[in-house]
Amino acid sequence: MAYFDEAKITVISGKGGDGCLSFRREKYIERGGPDGGDGGDGGNIILEIDLNLNSLSSFKGKRNFQAVSGKNGSGRNKKGKSGEDLVIKVPIGTQIYATQTKELIGEINESNSKIIVAKGGKGGLGNARFKSSTNQAPKKTTKGEQSDTREIFLEMRLIADIGLLGLPNAGKSTLINALTNSKSKVGNFPFTTLIPTLGVLENSEKSLTIADMPGIIEGASDGHGLGFKFLRHLHRTKFLLHLVDCSISADEALDSFSIIENELKEFHLDFSKQKRWVCLTKVDLLTDRKISNIVNQFSKRLKDIPLMLISSKNGTGLEELKKELFKRL
């Protein structure tokens, strides 16, 4: 299943209507004055937030968007009808770039809910506008402004409080199901999660959003596997939970931890400022002796990164994890 978090589209605003050249022609009025009306403005192209959307799939198969042009002015000082704006709905977190310059035009979020990406042309002036004491019968008009055509690139980044990080099969989907009301697919094979899944963790006072991403593999920062394209989504989260399967040997668990850490360092976004905890998962499969050994090994490596032991299957450590997340966020 494809996940649409990018789109390249062409937007064309409406052209402005032309001003009208006209003079009054009424019975018993031999020399009527100028009465040519202005042209109407062209419609804008506007991107606007829609909180019900969670991807850019609406742009699949559609690349060109054009607003309505303004109508020409007419006699009797009638202004041409302005073209309606074309409003395009996009999800929260959509960033808009000019494809030619790579410049960020803006981001759609709750405080910036709509952005004009192509401004409609202004309507031209009718000859009535040019009447003066020295020119009672002007024949001058102006044309409406041309439409604005531009190609833009849309990139959607999920906005969540907490991002789950880890190799395939680290237990991310099982954990988000255990903590929230989401229904992330679970299975004993790599890449069970093919698209980001959002869940909501709630208590009596607040709610937190958790994002479950496809598992990251070694080489993800160079474009390998599914995780690469979702690393930028994780960068938007406030908090990272790095899940490590500890049902394997301590050395293998440490290696899997190092793989993810290295991929974050190699990626072009800086993750160093985000708070991060390491959760050793599937502890229900370990004896107390093995748990003690793996905790000792990780404690030496982690230094200042908090370590938690959890089992999504039998609930070990989940209440403590919830409590700490609500306290920290």
Q: Is 68 annotated as a binding residue?
A: no
Q: Is 171 annotated as a binding residue?
A: yes
34 labelled as ligand-binding?
Answer: no
Is 172 annotated to bind ligand? Answer: yes
Residue 194 assigned ligand-binding role: yes
Q: Which residue type does 298 have?
A: F
d(CA 311, CA 319): 11
Tell whether residue 227 is among the known ligand binding residues.
no
Would the annotation count 112 as a binding residue? no
Angle at alpha carbon of residue 152, lines to 148 and 154, rounded to 5°: 145
User: Does 147 carry a binding-site annotation?
Assistant: no
**Cross-strand pairs, 228:** none
Whether 313 has a binding-site annotation, put simply, is: yes
For residue 139, say whether it is annotated as part of any ligand binding site: no
Nearest to 252 by CA among 219, 280, 275: 280
Q: Give the residues across from 209 on adjacent strands.
A: 200
Q: Is 166 annotated as a binding residue?
A: yes
Residue 196 annotated as binding site: no
Asked if residue 248 belongs to a known ligand binding site, the reply is: no
Inter-residue contact 241 to 267 (CB < 8 Å): no
* 282 annotated to bind ligand: yes
168 in a labelled binding site? yes
Check whether 184 is labelled as a binding-site residue: no
Q: Is 101 annotated as a binding residue?
A: no
Q: Which helix (H) or strand (E) holds 161?
A: none
Instruction: Establish whether 312 is an annotated binding residue.
Output: yes
Is 156 annotated as ligand-binding? Answer: no
The reply, when asked if residue 191 is annotated as ligand binding, is yes
Q: How many helices (H) and strands (E) does the chain have?
A: 5, 14
What phi, psi does 156 have (nearest 5°)?
A: -95, 130
Alpha carbons 160 and 58: distance in angstroms, whole number: 22
Q: Is 91 marked as binding a ligand?
A: no
Q: Cα torsion for 214, 220, 221, 227, to the nearest 10°?
A: -10
Asked whether residue 283 is marked as a ligand-binding residue, the answer is yes
Residue ranges of the binding site for GTP: 166-173, 191-195, 212-215, 281-284, 311-313
Binding positions for Mg(2+): 173, 193
- Positions at the binding site: 166-173, 191-195, 212-215, 281-284, 311-313
